[in-house]
Amino acid sequence: MFLRALPYIKATGLILFFGFACLPLVQMTMISFIATLPQPGIEVGSLTFGNYANIVSDPNLRSAFGNSIAYVLINICITVPVAIPAAYAFSRMSFLGDKHLFFAFIAFRITPPVVLTLPIFQLFSALGIVNSVFGIALAHCLFNLPISIWILQGFISAIPKEQDETAFLDGYSRPRFIWTFLLPQIAPGIAVTAFFCFMFSWVEVVFARILTTTNGKPISMAINALFGFQTDIGLVMAVTVASMIPGAVLVFSMRNHLSRGFKVGKL
Amino acid sequence: MKERNNTGWLFVLPAALLLGLVGLIPLMTVINYSFFEIFILDKRFWVGTEWYDQIISTGRFWANFGRSTLFSSIVLAIQIPLGIAIALCIPKRQFWVGLALAGIALPLLVPWNMIPSLWLSLLNPDTGIIGRIMAAFGWSAEWKMSAVQTWAVIIIMDTWHWTSLVVLLCYSALTTIPASYYQAAAIDGASPWQVFRHIQLPKLHYVLLMAVLLRFMDSFMIYTEAFPINAGGPDGATMFLAVDLGEEIKAFNYGPSAARSVLYFLIVLTVAWLFTKAQNKIDAHETKRTT
């Protein structure tokens, strides 16, 4: 009896959770199509595309989208090339202090950004990279790099070790082996890593706030700037919806690889 | 067996240098500041461990610590089992599985500072979906006055935001189980519970450890999402560790906030250490099983 009902219970559970996950998003999308501030020609509370038109016409918001995309891309371009050799080393070699180093990496991943805000701001001011997308991209390496190493080493560990040894017998050096053999094989892994870097970086707020006071504001901060004495909540929601579109497109195009992201990787 | 090879250091060097720059140097600065009274950054006085004494000896820190611990425990107790359950509900390899995964991942993509606004508008008794339903049942809109209800709102919000990550992690581990295991279990007439206990759960060990680590630390140090809901209120009832630190930094109390940061980092180190211990234990257990 229970056994026969099991698939239905599972389907119901899944649908309920799906509804729970989407409910706030539905609310958000609904508000984003409603005029919430009196504007010429549109009554408050009526359906409108005006909020989305405002995003396109506002230069601040447009540049915020550009900044967000720029810093996430820079972050991925720093994180992935640095993480690949490190993941390879953790996966294949045993070296002096490897366990301790991995421990340190984990510790930095779980260090709350708010703990490091002040010195990071000072350090980056001294380096002259505050108020620029490069500063945010660098700061986000704090949590993206450890997680990238962890994901990638899972993918590398899934490749049989014999392959390395054959390549070395054929006279390949380690870096050349990584470049010609390993990279093509872990390509899905690199895509998944890039996706998770995007996901953790795109939505982060603490570093983004302290590192951009005048210039280089990402979307999250541009949204913050919209709150004021008279907040156009419709516009706020429209910007939020728009900010989720790149991620949603990525998730959808990655959907078949996402589940392969966390192979049972262990040190 | 991994080969013993110290050239491994060359491969991890770039990563270590980068984390040294954005992690270690700022951390050293914080430790340094924590021993000084600082009015402006060029003018400071050595005060020794005074800030630490102050923080440890007053009830405020311990009250925050207790609240954060309770919050993390509740969050873990809800999100981990729920995440596993949902991951088990996702069927293997059907064309709409990808779609379901994409939908479940959506909450992870909302900018963090918008999450409280989303939930506040959802709970609005005049315009929000939940708010209007609750108002119809006679729920008062004064939930901000009640500590229990504020807690409930923050916990539900966090569950909404982060359970998806647990689901994604667990589902990815479940897909690595070969179909032959399930076939063998079916031949033996194993019940769904036995399949879960002896086939699926062992595969989840490592991923669950990671999920618990990430969820514990991120909820223990919840900041961006928790503060705007009720500004730490009512009456400090949702003043968590990181929220308190954030307020102190905003007030430019460099010395005390640095000392607080160091204490938090010590907590982080303890948790990371427990994590590696647990990981080694699982590893040892699995080596025993395979040999």
Mean pLDDT of A44-48: 75
Q: What is the mean pLDDT of residues B199-212?
A: 84
Spatial distance between the Cα atoms of A102 and A150, rounded to a whole number of angstroms: 9
Task: Supply B183's token pair.
Answer: 């076939």
Instruction: Select from A27, A105, A264 the Cβ nearest to the Cβ of B206.
Output: A264
C-beta separation of A127 from B22 below 8 A:
no
Q: What is the pLDDT of residue A181?
A: 84
Q: Does B39 touch chain A (CB under 8 A)?
A: no
- Residue-wise burial string across A34-43, b where 16 or more C-beta atoms lie within 10 A, e elsewhere: bbbeeeeeee
Looking at residue A141, its pLDDT comes to 92
pLDDT in tens, B162-175: 999 898 888 888 87
B14 close contact with A: CB closer than 8 A: yes
CA angle A165, A169, A170 (to 5 degrees): 115
pLDDT, tens digit, 9 for 90 and up, residues A199-240:
889 888 888 888 887 777 888 888 888 887 777 888 888 888
DSSP 8-state assignment for residue B46: E
Tally the domains of chain A: 1
CA gap B262, B57 in Å, rounded: 16
**B254 contact residues in A (CB cutoff 8 A):** 118
DSSP assignment of A221-237 equals HHHHHH-SSS--HHHHH
Residues 179-198 of A with CB under 8 A from B: none
**Residue B76: pLDDT band by 50, 70, 90 thresholds?**
very high
The arithmetic mean of pLDDT across residues A56-82, rounded, is 90
What pLDDT sits at residue B111?
87
Tokens of A165: 């040894």
CATH topology of domain B62-290: MetI-like fold (1.10.3720)
Query: Token pair of B269, please?
Result: 């180190």
**A57: contact with B, CB 8 A cutoff:** no
pLDDT-wise least confident of A122-131, A151-160, B210-219? A151-160
Q: Which residue has the higher pLDDT, B205 or B138?
A: B205
Lookup: tokens for A23: 């409910």
pLDDT of residue B72: 92
- Is residue B1 helix, strand or coil? coil
Note the pLDDT of residue A78: 93
Is there a contact between A119 and B18 if contact means CB atoms under 8 Å apart? no
Report pLDDT digits (tens) over B206-249. 788 888 988 988 888 888 888 878 777 777 777 888 787 887 77
Question: For an interface test with A, which of B172, B209, B214, B264 has the most A Cβ atoms less than 10 Å from its Cβ?
Answer: B172
Q: Is the pLDDT of residue A82 over 60?
A: yes
More confident residue, B8 or A264: B8
Burial class (CB in 10 A: 0-12, 13-18, 19+), B269: middle
Interface test with A, best of B1, B2, B134 (most A CBs within 10 A): B2
Q: What is the mean pLDDT of residues B117-132?
A: 83
Residue A263 vs residue A83, higher pLDDT:
A83
Which domain does A248 fall in, by range? 59-258
Average pLDDT over residues B3-7: 78
Q: Residue B198 and residue A203: Cα distance in Å, rounded?
A: 38
CB-CB contact of A72 with A202 (8 Å): yes
CB contact under 8 A, A95 and B9: yes
A175 within domain boundaries: yes
Name the band, by pLDDT with cuts 50, 70 and 90, for residue A261.
low
Residue B78 is predicted with a pLDDT of: 94
Per-residue model confidence (pLDDT) at position B41: 67
Domain-located, residue A117 = yes
Could you tell me if B275 and B213 are in contact, meaning their C-beta atoms sit under 8 angstroms apart? yes
* Whether residue A42 has pLDDT greater than 80: no
Q: At A182, which CATH number?
A: 1.10.3720.10
**Residues 91..110 of A with a Cβ closer than 8 Å to B: which?**
92-96, 98-99, 101-108, 110
Q: Which distant-in-sequence residues (6+ apart) come within 8 Å of A245 by Cβ?
A: none
Q: What is the pLDDT of residue A83?
A: 93
pLDDT at B71: 92
Q: What is the average pLDDT value for chain A, to the nearest integer?
A: 84
Provide the number of CB pairs (under 8 Å) joining chain A to chain B: 279
Once rounded to an integer, what is the mean pLDDT over residues B11-32?
A: 89
* B268–A111 C-beta distance less than 8 A: yes
DSSP string, B108-173: GGS-TTHHHHHHHHHH-TTT-HHHHHHHHTT--S-GGG-HHHHHHHHHHHHHHHHHHHHHHHHHHH
CA–CA gap between residue A107 and residue B20 (Å, rounded): 12
**Per-residue pLDDT at A267 exceeds 50:** no
Cβ-nearest to B192 among A6, A24, A106: A6
**pLDDT at residue A266, rounded to an integer:** 45
Question: Under an 8 A CB cutoff, do A24 and B118 touch?
Answer: yes
Distance from CA of A126 to the nearest CA of B (A): 12
Q: What are phi and psi of B164, to 5 degrees?
A: -55, -35
Instruction: Determine the pLDDT at residue A199.
Output: 87
B43 sits in which H/E element? strand B43-46
Q: Cβ separation of A114 and B175 shorter than 8 Å?
A: no
Q: Is residue A42 part of a domain?
A: no
- Domain residue ranges of chain B, discontinuous segments joined by +: 62-290
Torsion of CA B159, B84, B111, A150, to 10 degrees: 140
Mean pLDDT for all residues in chain B: 83
- Residue A39 covered by a domain: no
Contact criterion met (CB < 8 Å) for B11 and A110: no
State how far the Cα of A263 lies from the Cα of A153, in Å rounded to an integer: 9
Rounded-to-integer distance, Cα B257 and Cα B250, Å: 10
d(CA B178, CA B181): 6
Residue A193 is assigned to a structural domain of this protein: yes
Residue A265 has pLDDT above 70, yes or no: no
Q: What share of chain B is helix, strand, coil (3-state, %, to 5)?
A: 75, 5, 20
Task: Note if the bond before A59 is cis, omega within 30 degrees.
Answer: no
Please compute the mean of the pLDDT values over residues B272-281 and round it to a whole number: 84
Q: Does B251 touch chain A (CB under 8 A)?
A: no
Contact A255 B206 (CB under 8 A): no
Residue A21, chain B, CB below 8 Å: the answer is yes
Is residue A14 included in any domain, yes or no?
no
CB atoms A123 and B29 under 8 Å:
yes
Query: Can you give the pLDDT at residue B81?
Result: 94
By DSSP bridging, strand B36-40 and strand B3-4 are unpaired
Please determine, for residue A74, whether its predicted confidence score (pLDDT) is greater than 90.
yes
Looking at mean pLDDT, say which of A119-128, A158-167, B125-134 comes out highest. Answer: A119-128
Type of residue numbered B197: R
- Token pair listed for B201: 């759960």
Residue type, B41: L
A214 CA to chain B: closest CA distance, Å? 18
List, for residues B245-276, the tens digit of each pLDDT value.
887 777 777 788 888 888 888 888 888 888 88
At residue A264's C-alpha, the angle toward residues A260 and B2, to 5°, is 125
Model confidence at A70: pLDDT above 80: yes
CB-based contact, B219 to chain A, within 8 Å: no
Q: What is the mean pLDDT of residues B43-72?
A: 82
Tokens 């006279």 identify what position? A171
